[in-house]
Chains A and B, each alone.
Chain A
Amino acid sequence: MNNYHRFDCVIVGAGGAGMMAALEASQRVGTAVVSKLYPTRSHTGAAQGGIAAALANLEDDSWENHAYDTIKGGDFLVDQTAAEILARDAVECIYQLEHWGLPFDRTPAGKISQRRFGGHTKPNPDYDPSAPPGSPNARPRVPVMRSCHSADRTGHMILQTLYQQCIKQGVTFFDEFHMTDLILVDGECRGIVALEIATGQLHVFHAKSVLLATGGFGRMFKVSSNAYALTGDGPAIAYQHGLPLEDMEFFQFHPTGIYRLGILLSEACRGDGGVMINDQGERFMERYAPNLKDLASRDVCSRSIYQEVRAGRGIGGKDYVYLDIRAETINRFGTSPTGKPVDHRWVESRLPDIIDFSRTYLGVDPIREPVPIQPTAHYAMGGLPTDIDGRVLRDETGAIVPGLYAAGESACVSVHGANRLGTNSLVDLVVFGRRSGRDMARYARDHDFKPLPPKPEAASHAKIRGFLERPRNYPWVKLRDRLQHVMMDDCGVYRTGEGLERARREVASLKEQYATLGVQDKGSVFNTGLLEVLEFGNLLDLAEATVASALARTESRGAHSREDFPDRDDSRFFAHSFAFRDGPDSVRLAYRDVDVIYIEKDGQRQPKYPLEIRKY
């Protein structure tokens, strides 16, 4: 059969996580990368601001600082061993990327340049607990330059560099192949099924180990920074097979999306001194986060924007505020990262793409005017639960699914907990992409191919045939719009039990209608209508798990903010949620303890990162 392929390792997804894993695995065993997009089209290329690593190129820093910030930023829902690995391996991974040719910006000494980013701090050397509040010495921690960058297109450079290295190493790619199913037998993964977009044919990939690195699923929301392709296919397909999804209630809204379009304006804007301003010209973050202000973590900033808008202080009373990166504003507030005044040219050299986005899509020149912004659905903290080697967990006990791996945004290790810090996703991709690639190759070496069931493509075939055979009785786009609206309104920055209940009913009704849909195009070649419908089905399943997890978590933590339960409740919810499909319409939830590191101190066993109330 022409459509049968056999590789030791199959990697689904050619973003940062997938290609990093491919570079590792393909050095050791036969490896193929299957991607619905050409690798360089992956959304890793859209990442702007940078990648965190405590290189200490411009000021003192340490991986311990980075680990602490990651845990606190995640509102303590972070698995601590994983966070330490992230922070420690980040340094080595950045050097590896540099050696592969990644063109980082440089310091005057020729080293990799670094910038500030929200939530990345170090202890304040001048901290004085008795200093008057609001004075510089009253801050226990101060921002640190930890984000390694290449102007404001760091993700583009990472994606290009990894693809270049894949070409150099001769990695095998199946470009524009869309995974439609996982082959799971007796609880083990033995391969995948994928649709070749150019022909409409199904292909079977027989493998010893499979890595899912399909990226995020922000397209579940109306306003999103995510690409059209980000529909969470990997996690959704696993969920359809009864595997759990972890921490789905935590979805990050980035505070600075371009008004209406959701296109991201990186946090680097604020790292480099930009501030958010309300209708009264106030720098409102001074009220909500007196220490870090505009560099507080993203969930805090997004909620603050909503509060301002609710209080009628949105611009012109509307639902947006301004992001102001004009040199004179940076100088007026004294927010320049170097402490020295800046000029237009400096701003332009640091943020060229962002300035171009604003000019192109809004007709607003950020060098001269402030830019209208609103929170935009940005990053899935949740996803497929994995251990520190990328192995997918079968349930909350930590048992694994042999042969199945996940990495990148589609995975939940969890290093981001309830809220990811900026620049920590790109590190996650390289650190855990690399670890997964190594471990899946090791697994493939230690095991033989196991037989496939007869006709593993049958289920995909039946599903696709259904959409092609049914008439297009209803424009499916309207159903997708409804999903995106209800998720934005009732499962967005702020949530209530009542709103979530509404969302739950809406998703259930959409699922019912979904089952009756047909597409207009009955052809085989590049049937992108069919692909969109398949993707929409995946979004529906992920929405179902998200809403159920959010309903059950009756507390507020990180990005999950329940107006009816405004406080964090560590006694009940210091735990990861695991959502399982339980019958066609119901979701079963279970919880897994957060991984906590204990140390001996004063002859006592104590948590290394004691719980604290997160304040910025």
Chain B
Amino acid sequence: MAETTRHLTVRIKRFDPETDSAPHWEEYQVEAEPWDRVLDVIQKVKWTIDDGLALRRSCAHGVCGSDAMRINGRNQLACKVLVKNLPDNTIRVEPILGLPVIKDLVVDMKPFFDHYKSVMPFLVNDEPPPTTERLQSIAARARFDDTTKCILCACCTTACPPFWGDRKYVGPAAIVNAHRFIFDSRDRAAAERLEILNDAEGVWRCRTVFNCTEVCPREIKVTQAISEVKRALLTGDVGEIDASAETAAAAS
């Protein structure tokens, strides 16, 4: 890859609800260093050409989930794509699909968070807790590790064709977050969550397209998590009980 400054043509889909009736493409010329992120490139446009360009960003290193956008036709976090890895000197940037555009690259995240909230994304356990921690074996903790990584960026849900077709579908991100609790040995509400996901707008909408897994910036095996939820629905089984921790506790 070129390790020198690159001259980039940046095409950004713009929409200002106060002046535009429809989105349109604008083109900008920017110099970028190989180690720059696409986020840096977009901010260069904002800071040196048009400060009205709207986007969300905060952490700039792929952990806060603010800057999901479609870059060259693929959902990505702009802060995780490096200039040196771009295939050519033109980049196309547009908002993620399936959520209403508010302005430029900013979409309305409310429907996305509503789906997330609908799956009871919190630990439920009304048994009185011990005075110290609840025990959990290393294996039981590992059981749901992958789905704890989710940063709610919406890359997966807004890359999902069934979601584009039916905005009422809870979508992959919500299922990932349900998975995180369904398979946590400390949780007691798996059955309720499974019931929610058994709904017509639940897991069965998933057509295993795998887009979600391909775009997840946290490399969560999203499709696998969804399949595990489907399997739990079919078998009623959420996996082994936390036997090893109990033995360990008895021994200590």
Name A residues whose Cβ lies closer than 8 Å to a Cβ of B. 37-38, 40-43, 45-46, 55, 94-95, 98-101, 103-112, 150-151, 153, 156-157, 160-161, 164-165, 167-168, 198, 227-229, 260-261, 263, 353, 357, 360-363, 472, 475-477, 519-521, 523-529, 532
Contacts and interface: CB of A to CB of B under 8 A. Distances in A.
A110 B51 contact: no
B101 to A, nearest CB: 11
Among A55, A100, A106, A165, the one with the most B-chain Cβ atoms within 10 Å of its Cβ is A106
B164 interface: no
B187 A41 contact: no
Given A164-B121, A527-B52, A103 B61 contact: no
A168 B122 contact: yes
Given A103-B145, A164-B123, A361 B52 contact: no
A94 B132 CA distance: 9
B221 interface: no
Interface string B124-138: 110001011111111
B140 to A, nearest CB: 8
A99 B129 contact: yes
A45 B51 contact: no
A150 B244 CA distance: 20
Contacts of A112: 133
B35 interface: yes
B62 to A, nearest CB: 7
B58 A109 contact: no
Contacts of A529: 46, 51-52
A106 B59 contact: no
Contact of B252 (A55, A103, A109, A165): A109
A151 B149 CA distance: 10
A101 B181 contact: yes
B148 A227 contact: no
Contact of B134 (A98, A107, A164, A363): A98
Interface stretch (B63-71, B190-198, B200-208): B63-71
Interface stretch (B102-110, B222-230, B231-239): B102-110
B32 interface: no
Contacts of B35: 260-261, 361-362
Interface string B62-85: 111110000000000000101010
A165 B122 contact: yes
Contacts of B244: 110
Contacts of B62: 357, 360
Contacts of B56: 41
Given A101-B184, A526-B103, A167 B135 contact: no
A156 B137 contact: no
A477 B48 contact: yes
A109 B18 contact: no
A519 B16 CA distance: 16
B60 interface: yes
A161 to B, nearest CB: 8
B144 interface: yes
Given A156-B151, A263-B61, 15 more contacts: A37-B58, A37-B64, A40-B152, A45-B151, A95-B132, A105-B141, A107-B138, A156-B63, A164-B122, A168-B124, A228-B57, A260-B35, A520-B51, A523-B19, A527-B54
Contacts, number: 171
A520 B102 contact: no
B109 A111 contact: no
B39 to A, nearest CB: 9
Most buried by A among B50, B133, B136, B249: B133
A108 B51 contact: no
A475 B48 contact: yes
Contacts of A526: 54, 102-104, 106
B7 interface: no
B43 to A, nearest CB: 9
Classify chain B: how many residues form its interface, as a range. Answer: 35 or more
B58 A229 contact: yes
B13 interface: no
A222 to B, nearest CB: 14
Contacts of A37: 58, 64, 66
Given A99-B129, A110-B137, A525 B59 contact: no
Given A40-B152, A520-B52, A45 B123 contact: no
A227 B135 contact: no
B245 interface: yes
The residue among B104, B148, B244 with the most chain A CB atoms within 10 A of its own CB is: B148
Nearest to A36: B58
Interface string B1-34: 0000000000000001111000000000000000
B199 to A, nearest CB: 19
Contacts of A363: 84
16 contacts: A37-B58, A38-B66, A46-B64, A103-B144, A106-B141, A106-B245, A109-B135, A111-B133, A111-B135, A151-B145, A156-B63, A164-B121, A164-B122, A229-B58, A477-B48, A520-B51
Given A40-B151, A46-B64, A527-B52, A101 B46 contact: no
Contacts of B249: 109-110
A520 B45 CA distance: 13
A361 B252 contact: no
B10 to A, nearest CB: 17
A316 to B, nearest CB: 16
Contact of A228 (B60, B122, B131): B60
B186 interface: yes
Contacts of A527: 52, 54
Interface string B82-116: 10100000000000000000111010010001000
